[in-house]
A = this chain, B = another copy of it.
Amino acid sequence: MLASEDGLPCNRDVHEDLLRKLRKLLPPEAVLTDKEDLRPFECDGLSVYRRLPLVVVLPETIAQVQAIMRLCHVLQVPVVARGAGTGLSGGALPLSDGVLLSLAKFKRILHIDPENAMATLQPGVRNLAISEAAAAYGLYYAPDPSSQIACTIGGNVAENSGGVHCLKYGLTVHNILMLKVVTMEGELLTIGSETLDSPGYDLLALMTGSEGMLAVIVEVTVKLLAKPERAQVLLAAFDDVFKAGEAVGAIIAAGIIPAGLEMMDKVAIQAAEDYAHAGYPRDAEAILLCELDGTNAEVSEHIMEVREILHQSGATEVRTAVNEAERQLFWKGRKSAFPAVGRISPDYYCMDGTIPRRQLPHVLRQISLWSEEYGLPVANVFHAGDGNLHPLILFDANKEGELARTEEFGQRILQLCVEVGGSITGEHGIGMEKINQMCIQFKTAELSQFHAVKAAFDPAGLLNPGKAVPTLQRCAEFGAMHVHHGQLPHAELERF
């Protein structure tokens, strides 16, 4: 396990020194080196990548985190921080010659301040636990990734997580106020403030979504929102997926911002219905779920307007959940779409790209053409309101060549997202998974600027190396490879 896969100096003596010193800093049960103890940390939610770390540390205090970081800085040992490990892009994949720093013991809710509608949390607090604790005050924390039962607020900040409600309530970055972070050198920084804005460069936003590359998050202060008086969901069925895409644009153009606006196509509808029995129309080509929240009067008014728009857009059926139980059932179908699709296909590849809303019909049409070309079915499940696509490509890894065809198909989808003005990730992050696609998204000048920002925090590149931002050399190689295959769109050719 001591071989260096990552181009960093590999030295058995250094590692022995590291382990000895870690055991001085932490109690025995907080320094794990046995293979069986390391196993649970070998991957995150993207389990196709697996690697055992050199050591797992489980600190309990900020001072311990600082001491660990100082030690790793002195010994020049790389560090990967980890929350619940629910990430879908391999951002928490360990290094075999590095420390895996788990924040699992940082799970206390430090303070809830109902008057100022904020909560201060240790990074290992689960996303859903925040809303559960705030419920006593009629408050909740808005961002709700599908993994919210398990994922932690520290991981949410590292990935800038979204969720079904981010169209109206924003991503994690829009819902946090303050962070405490520990740098690679062991310095404790407080960034942001309890107020709307704070002076100096916006390190709070910079840290959010930085995928553990800049510092280790040790405390998070979030905004809480008052629970809306009423939430109601509409389900609309369409006989044409493009009509559903156009209805999305029409709702937004009417000036209505739904709390959630989700779309599923036929493959996804049928899978979800068979799994969750949500009452979805099995024969529809697409459904939209549109949640409206606010005051009683506002929701009533918006429901009427949205119904009208849906009918005008050619919906064959529009239903309003008759009660809270049915509302929950409508959402259950959507939220279980991924596991439901997992039942109908040996394997699936979950894409995550974002496009400007107006491109929705065009992109859906193109995906459907490619689906025929590759002979691979696609289930489309996505946050339509904010243009965040999750096409699931169904395949069978045991069939010769099917994985390779799937990856090629997936990459074309991401390239299309970039071409139409969107991006290669909506909420799952870059991590290991999409590091090559970053070369499509950005030019050399922007990548160079990213590296300079990274160096401003971690000049030796010890924090989560190899993730999120590719080296220019990697992009050159990736570009060259693609030019060779003749698949690079014209715009890309100019870049390399």
Point out residues on A near B: beta carbons under 8 Å: 113-117, 138, 160, 162, 166-167, 170-171, 173-174, 183, 187-191, 193-206, 208-210, 213-214, 225-229, 249, 252-256, 294-298, 300-302, 354-358, 386-388, 421-427, 429-430, 434, 438, 441-443, 445-446, 448-450, 452-457, 468-469
Contact = CB atoms under 8 A, between A and B. Distances in A.
A362 to B, nearest CB: 13
Contacts of A228: 255
Contact of A423 (B189, B197, B204, B453): B197
A431 to B, nearest CB: 10
A438 B386 contact: no
A176 to B, nearest CB: 12
Nearest to A227: B255
A11 B173 CA distance: 46
Contacts of A210: 201-202
A162 B195 CA distance: 13
Contact of A189 (B115, B422, B446): B446
A65 to B, nearest CB: 15
Contact of A386 (B196, B429, B446): B196
A356 to B, nearest CB: 5
Contact of A187 (B170, B194, B445): B445
B449 A456 contact: yes
Given A197-B171, A210-B201, A422-B195, A452 B456 contact: yes
A253 B115 contact: yes
Contacts of A302: 295
B354 A196 contact: yes
Given A253-B115, A255-B227, A194 B445 contact: no
Most buried by B among A204, A423, A443: A423
Contacts of A188: 445
A438 B196 contact: no
Given A116-B357, A301-B295, A356-B195, A200 B426 contact: no
Contact of A138 (B167, B227, B255, B456): B255
A297 B230 CA distance: 14
Contacts of A294: 294, 298
Contacts of A423: 193, 195, 197-199
A355 B197 CA distance: 10
Nearest to A297: B297
Given A200-B442, A298-B294, A193 B422 contact: yes
A422 B354 contact: no
A390 to B, nearest CB: 14
A460 to B, nearest CB: 13
Given A194-B422, A199-B424, A452-B456, 6 more contacts: A160-B197, A193-B423, A199-B429, A206-B206, A296-B301, A453-B456
A323 to B, nearest CB: 22
Contact of A195 (B426, B448, B468): B426
